[in-house]
Structure 1
Amino acid sequence: MRIEQEFFDAYMAIHRPYINRANSILSTYNLYSSQWLILKDIAKNGKTTSVDVSRRRGIEKPTATKVIKHLLELELIKSTPGEDRRIKYLTMTGKGKHLFDEVSDKMNHMQREMLKDFEIEEVEELIASLRRMNI
């Protein structure tokens, strides 16, 4: 087997189990990983638009719109019109911030547990290598 295939096989072997673990935590909050990643993006970037979220997350705008609608229904984010009424800004609500902090703690614990057998330098090398891929 070629090394490229081995690399991507190894990546795929951890991707789905990671998503499953994340979803087991997130489902308690009526969220899934795709919704969590958008909520996390809004928490990180502050006031933003759905176009910016979809660009940063690398997803199609209709997909982002569907996820954002769910987050609005859960009252985790709010949408306010900008000066140009065609633009709506998304921000976290108090409820969203509280949930984000609570879920972040649980997600961080799960991630620490998954990486417990690695030295910090090994994790830093993996991060640097993955970022160099520039996909």
Structure 2
Amino acid sequence: MQPHQAFFHEYRMMYRPFINKLNVYLASHQLYSSQWAILRLLISEKSLTLVEISNSLNVEKPTTTRMIQKLIELDYVTTVPGKDKREKKVQLTSFGHDVCKDVQVTIEQFQLDALEGISVEEQIIVSKVLETVRNNLLK
């Protein structure tokens, strides 16, 4: 197997087990990894439109709409008026902020365990490599 083939093979072989195990941890908060991705985005960006969330996560708008609706039902997010009347922004509720703090505590050890034996320097290098691959794919 060529190095480039091995890279993508190993990524694929790691991805599903990671998501499956992450979902086990997130289940105690009534979340899936895709919903957690939205909440993480809202932690850093404060408020975004559905289109901005969809574009940031490279997910179709109808899929984002369904995930946001579930997060609203859980009282993790709410919508507020945007700049014009047609625009709605999604943001974390106070309860949602608390849940996000709990989730971060819940998955911290899981992430550290998954990276066992990998130095911080190696983690930074792999993060930069994956970011470059993602950017190449989005060209």
Q: Which TM bucket (shorter chain)? A: over 0.9
Note the alpha carbon deviations across 1:24-69, whole angstroms, 9 max, x for none: 0111111111111011111111021111111111111111111001
Query: Offset of 1:83 from its aligned partner?
Result: 4.1
Deviations, residues 3-41 of structure 1 (Å, cap 9, x unaligned)? 222111100111011101110011111111111101111
Q: Distance in 2 between matches of 1:47 and 1:38?
A: 11
Amino acid at match of 2:37: L
Runs (4+) off by over 6 Å: none
Pairing 1:6–2:6 present:
yes
Q: Which amino acid aligns with 2:91?
A: T
The aligned counterpart of 1:58 is 58
Q: What CA RMSD, in Å, does the superposition of the two structures yield over aligned residues? A: 1.1
Distance 2:83 2:5 in 1: 50
What TM-score do the two structures reach when normalised by structure 2? 0.92
1:82 is displaced (CA, Å) by 2.3
117-126 or 79-88: which moved more? 79-88
1:18 maps to a residue whose letter is F
Number of the residue aligned with 2:102: 102
Structure 2's unaligned 5+ residue stretches are none
CA distance in 1, matches of 2:120, 2:80: 41
Q: Which runs of 5+ in 1 are unaligned?
A: none
* Partner residue, 1:92: 92
Query: 1:109: Cα distance to partner?
Result: 1.6
Match of 2:48, SS state, is: coil
The 1-side partners of 2:83 and 2:7 are apart by 48
Tell me what 2:24 maps to. 24
Residue correspondences, number: 135
